[in-house]
Amino acid sequence: MDSTQVELTNDFIVIGRALRTSPERAASDIPDFWRRFVQEAPGTIGAPNADLYAVYCDYETDHRGPYTLVLGYRGEGTAEVPPGMRRVRVPFGQYASFAAKGDPAQVIWSTWAHVNTEWPQRHRRRYIADYERYPANAMASATVEAQIVVGVT
């Protein structure tokens, strides 16, 4: 699985719902969290036809420790955060991007498994904020085309 180097020249903000989880609980926590988000959140945050982001942040250590997942949409740093939601900043810098296409239940997990255990550059991860970007309306299909982006030094 190949990666593409990406440079973010500016920070960006994502506002959404947050979940604190760990690698041991992720396989059950994250699918349930996604289901609730898709049922409840659209229309409460984000613009119509906006890309959806899943931001991984607040890493306790690295991919082996607890972290926070924020599902939401890009917003302004000064935007009001609705009750029950959170703002997270994805910092500027160097990133590696991976393309994931197919059944989301399979390709997202397998891409992250590759990043965390097989990717030759995994030692360069920053563990500040990594993200998945899903094109608008991506959840309306059984096949997804997502971009998984991890911060690197």
Q: Residues 8-41: pLDDT tens digits?
A: 999 999 999 999 999 999 999 999 999 998 887 6
Of 28, 23, 80, 8, residue with least CA distance to 56 = 23
Residue 110 tokens read as 């397998």
Distance CA 139, CA 135 (A): 9
Q: What is the dihedral of CA 117, 119, 125, 130, to 10 degrees?
A: -90
pTM (two decimals): 0.92
Cα 139 versus chain centre, distance? 14
pLDDT at 48: 62
Query: In the numeric block, which tokens belong to residue 57?
Result: 């942040």
Compute the CA torsion angle 75, 79, 40, 32 (nearest 10 deg): 60
For the chain, the domain total comes to 1
Pair 145, 2: CB distance under 8 Å: no
CA separation for the pair 38, 55 (Å, rounded): 16
Confidence at residue 142, expressed as pLDDT on a 0 to 100 scale:
73
Q: At 34, which CATH number?
A: 3.20.80.10
> Where in the sequence is the domain holding 88, given as residue range(s)?
4-151
| DSSP assigned state of 43 | T
Among the listed residues 70, 138, 96, 131, the one whose alpha carbon sits nearest the alpha carbon of residue 7: 96
Give residue-wise pLDDT tens across range 51-99: 999 999 999 999 999 999 999 999 988 888 989 899 999 999 999 999 9
